[in-house]
A and B are shown apart, each in its own frame.
Chain A
Amino acid sequence: MNQIKQLVNGVLKGNRRSIAKTITLIENNPHEAQKAVSKLYPHTGKAHIIGITGPTGSGKSTLIEKLVKELRKKRKRVGIIAVDPSSPFTGGAFLGDRIRMQKLSTDKEVFIRSMATRNSPGGLARATRDAVKVLDASGKDVVIVETVGAGQSEVDIIKVAHTVVVVLAPGLGDDIQAIKAGMMEIGDIFVVNKADRENADEAVIDIETMLNMGSEKEKWRPPVIKTTATKDEGTAMLLNRINQHMKYLKKEVFDIQRRQKAETELIEAIKQKTTDSIIDELRRKGELEKLVQEILAKKTDPYSAADALLKERLKRFRTNG
């Protein structure tokens, strides 16, 4: 408990070691970390959280470095969380996003943390959301979350971020086609990076066309921007659009979005806590193992076993409801 208090106090003062240790605790021991996150919660809600997602190699990290350079000119304090997948086989991970952000690494007002998904279902680790809270509470004005948009993970980013930037690059061809459907839904801003390459304009037209097919009722029409991150071209414009999006949110939907986020988080917390406590109990009492054996012996199947187990436990809810 004392350790938790120390961490929390450190985070609130913006101490970098405390921030780092708290995020580690979140990753390794969510149960214990919850005490810290709860204490930090009242201090959150100030940061603008920006999700940067898109296919592997489209230039997300390079773009983030330039974006942060721009933010630093305006004296904004910035936190970055770069999420990469863990190997499903070994559990290890290669976290290489820092390679492109080295110029930021000794700026005391910029905190960068690489995170592996640790095979958490749903892609973007649950830990990410809590880590964002830590950075938010530590006094960062902007928190950027980089995720690879392949498979499921891009869907989670909208639960975390206020503004989602989808970064694509020309020449990804079929790749773009395949991911488009999912990405088109979640992007508030679209970037065609590597504009120094051929076919950047085609990619822009492509995206515009897809956006035009969307509903017209939406008040925010996602802008499409060309950037060349390596030459720092288009990044000021991108930041401009990001800020515009925040203004729009504040005017139109911020409270609805905040309410929605709070509800989603609460429901997820309830789900997690109920399943955890039920499964813990079943394990302790040996009931879980007994049923596993029965399933193996084909005396029952997992669904029937779950029904039988939960019947008694859920009775209360049914009769009340």
Chain B
Amino acid sequence: MSTKRKIRIVVAKPGLDSHDRGAKVIARAFRDAGMEVIYTGLWQTPEQIVETALQEDVDVVALSILSGAHMTLFPKITKLMKQKGLNDILVLGGGVIPDEDIPALKKIGIAEVFGPDTPTNTIIKFIKENTQKTK
């Protein structure tokens, strides 16, 4: 009996960004890399994102934000995830995030932050390497 592990990933846009073109491009790149991508659309609250991650039992939560609210929204999300015991999920940040914020974000549980110019292959490679651990 073969056991098939598929990487499941939720791509979410917290906050009030007015478009999600970038997030959609990333989502499709993940799909083309063989992942199952749960896409949730714009204007997600932290509660919605965390509940989605729980119900969909994802391996990765990829957050994209352009509005500059990452320093308030990202910590809310990681805190909620810890409260619900979702400790084994890889959380990634993307969008427009200044370099000086990155250390603080890593401290609160964001595994990596990818700027808008990061080639999608780099992100995909990172995900594949960091979801190898058997759950």
Q: Which residues of A pack against B, CB within 8 Å? A: 16-17, 19-21, 23-24, 27-32, 86-87, 90-96, 98-99, 102, 105-106, 111-114, 116, 118, 276, 280
Contact = CB atoms under 8 A, between A and B. Distances in A.
Question: Which 5 A-B residue pairings sit nearest by Cβ, starting from the closest?
Answer: A99-B41, A92-B31, A20-B57, A31-B1, A29-B3
Interface stretch (B43-51, B66-74, B101-109): B43-51
B38 A92 contact: no
A24 B89 CA distance: 14
Given A20-B54, A98-B52, A114 B38 contact: yes
Nearest to B85: A17
Nearest to A111: B55
B51 A93 contact: no
Interface string B30-44: 111111111111001
B28 interface: yes
A92 B48 contact: no
22 contacts: A20-B56, A21-B57, A28-B5, A28-B6, A29-B1, A86-B36, A92-B31, A94-B28, A94-B39, A98-B40, A99-B40, A99-B41, A102-B48, A105-B48, A105-B51, A105-B55, A106-B51, A111-B55, A113-B55, A114-B38, A116-B6, A116-B36
Contacts of B38: 95, 98, 114
Interface in B1-42: 1, 3-6, 8, 27-28, 30-41
Contact of B33 (A86, A90, A98, A280): A90
A92 B54 contact: no
A94 B8 CA distance: 10
B27 A94 contact: yes
Nearest to B52: A105
Contacts of B40: 98-99, 102, 105
B126 to A, nearest CB: 17
A54 to B, nearest CB: 20
A84 to B, nearest CB: 9
B54 A118 contact: no
Given A17-B54, A94-B28, A96-B39, 16 more contacts: A16-B55, A19-B55, A24-B8, A24-B57, A28-B3, A28-B4, A91-B6, A91-B34, A92-B35, A92-B36, A95-B36, A102-B40, A105-B51, A106-B48, A113-B55, A116-B36
B6 A90 contact: no
Nearest to B31: A92
Given A31-B1, A102-B48, A94 B34 contact: no
Contacts of B36: 86, 92-93, 95, 114, 116
Nearest to A21: B57
Interface in B74-90: 84-85
Given A20-B57, A23-B57, A92 B37 contact: yes
Contacts of B6: 27-28, 91, 116, 118
Given A95-B39, A102-B48, A90 B85 contact: no
Contacts of A96: 39, 41
Contact of B34 (A19, A24, A92, A113): A92
Contacts of A111: 55
Nearest to B53: A20
Q: Which of A19, A30, A102, A114 has the most CB of B within 10 A?
A: A114
